[in-house]
Amino acid sequence: MRLHALVPCGGSGSRAGAGVPKQYRPVAGQPVLGHTLAALAGVARLDTVLVVVASDDDTGPRTAHAAWPGHPAGGEGQGPRLVVAGCAGPSRAHTVFNGLAHLLAQGASPHDWVLVHDAARCLVTPAQVNALVDACLPDAVGGLLALPLPDTLKAATPDGRVAATVPRSDKWLAQTPQMFRLGVLQRALARAEPRGFDGITDEASAIEALGLSPKLVPGSAENVKLTYPPDFALAQAILKGRQA
């Protein structure tokens, strides 16, 4: 049984602005993807870190390999090895589905664990990833990093007014990585593929559609997904603070 990380990296990041996919935007001295890979490279238990890019993406492979020097190339006790595959699909779920097939074709086992992590969550730390692994290895289903909802939650009317205050005690914000058995996750996504992966917003939602209940593992408020322009200023400040 091995552990693999899968980083879907095929999005355009249009909401982030700047005219370049957000995973390649510079933050604190290197592209967002570089910080993400540095965190995953620090998790010695990972066997493989697979970055899935579009087939016509030249920037992704260059960025990934440039961020990897100084980290072990693979082998027992040396940390994970980096693999870049140009098989991204038209959606995130499709990209993950294709990435799972690539791992299996390269010798991964359906019983292996796979940790799917957003390329744009560059503030994750090796300690947070290891906490997820520790919590999920003995679990029958697997799970995800998540954060209990800290704010009051409102439901809205179609015209943008408050319809109700929603109890938040059982509400969590899903994060990544999300960790499941490779074969089970592939089966869950295969069921959704004929519908164009409709309703699959993350790996946990695909697992839930099988009737399984993923484990919620407390994450960090810093593990945000960079989506809008202000998110990059926040990431810059956090990363600079860690470097100080």
pLDDT at 18: 54
Say how far apart CA 137 and CA 45 lie, in whole Å: 12
pLDDT at 78: 66
Of 6, 1, 101, 111, nearest to 45 by C-alpha is 1
- What are residue 4's DSSP bridge partners? 48, 114
Question: Distance between alpha carbon 75 and the CA centroid of its chain, in Å?
Answer: 24
Q: Would you say 126 and 145 are in contact if contact means Cβ atoms under 8 Å apart? A: no
Say how far apart CA 184 and CA 187 lie, in whole Å: 5
pLDDT, tens digit, 9 for 90 and up, residues 56-111: 999 999 999 998 866 554 444 467 999 999 999 999 999 999 999 999 999 999 99
pLDDT at 71: 55
pTM of the model: 0.92
Question: Distance between alpha carbon 67 and the CA centroid of its chain, in Å?
Answer: 17
Q: What is the pLDDT along the chain (244 residues), one digit of tens a residue?
A: 899 999 999 865 444 445 678 999 999 999 999 999 999 999 999 999 999 999 999 999 999 999 886 655 444 446 799 999 999 999 999 999 999 999 999 999 999 999 999 999 999 999 999 999 999 999 999 999 999 999 999 999 999 999 999 999 999 999 999 999 999 999 999 999 999 999 999 999 999 999 999 999 999 999 999 999 999 999 999 999 998 7
pLDDT at 201: 94
pLDDT at 10: 86
- CATH superfamily assigned to domain 3-143+175-243: Spore Coat Polysaccharide Biosynthesis Protein SpsA; Chain A (3.90.550.10)
Say how far apart CA 60 and CA 82 lie, in whole Å: 13
pLDDT at 243: 84
Task: Indicate the burial class of 216 (C-beta count within 10 angstroms; 0-12, 13-18, 19 or more).
Answer: middle
The terminus-to-terminus CA distance of the chain in angstroms comes to 38
Of 30, 38, 54, nearest to 5 by C-alpha is 38
Is beta strand 215-218 parallel, antiparallel or unpaired with respect to 142-148? parallel
pLDDT at 16: 41
DSSP one-letter string for the chain: --EEEEEE-----GGG-TTS-GGGSEETTEEHHHHHHHHHHT-TTEEEEEEE--TT-SHHHHHHHHH-TTS--SSTTS--EEEEE----SSHHHHHHHHHHHHHHTT--TTSEEEE--TT-TT--HHHHHHHHHHHTT-SSEEEEEEE--S-EEEE-TTS-EEEEEP-TT-EEEEEEEEEEHHHHHHHHHHHGGGTTTT--SHHHHHHTTT--PEEEE--TT-----SHHHHHHHHHHHHHHH-
pLDDT at 130: 98
